[in-house]
Amino acid sequence: MASRPFLWRTRADGTREVSWRLWVLIWVLPGLMTGAGTAMLVIEAYRHLATLPTQAEVVQVHAWEGETIFDKDVTNYGPVFAYEWTDGTITRASSGMSSPDFDFAIGSLHEIRYFKGHKGNVVLPGWHNWLPGLIVGALGLVLTLPATWITLLVRRWRGQMTIAGAPRT
């Protein structure tokens, strides 16, 4: 019986055991969410530090209707910018993102950030770049509250701790 997988059990002698599998189940989601949120923020910080700022002119705006349940009946816009690249040539690029807020007028100037080493998507600065990492990280931190509570309950069941001076059983 000792070699069979378990989450928690009480042996014949009354010893209570908790498997490592239970700890993984309790902490995997908060850990992954917090780690993923942190990684997303680190990637965004790298994108901010590794790009150069410049002014770009909007030369074209693509528009299409939303197709998901989140953006149904909403028009999304994807602007194309013309800007001077590091070698002095004028190049065009988009941010690779779309939003109802990106309905920029043709000919308007906006700050963008571009990667010095290659011509590709540009970064349109703003809170929208940081928000996904903040949300995922915050969800991870919020999920640590029930994980901590469950950990305390499991440790109390094992008899490793007492709560408010109650005797161990």
Which is more confident, 13 or 56?
Answer: 56
Q: Is 144 exposed, middle or buried (0-12, 13-18, 19+ CB in 10 A)?
A: middle
pLDDT tens digits, one per residue of 90-138: 999 998 888 888 999 999 999 999 998 888 889 999 999 999 999 999 9
Beta bridge partners of 82: 57, 92
Residues 141-157: what's their mean pLDDT?
Answer: 93
Q: What is the pLDDT of residue 162?
A: 52
Chain mean pLDDT for the chain: 88
Q: Please check whether residue 34 is in contact with residue 144, taking contact to mean a CB–CB distance below 8 angstroms.
A: yes
d(CA 118, CA 130): 23
d(CA 108, CA 131): 25
pTM, two decimals, is 0.76
d(CA 11, CA 59): 73
Q: What is the pLDDT of residue 157?
A: 85
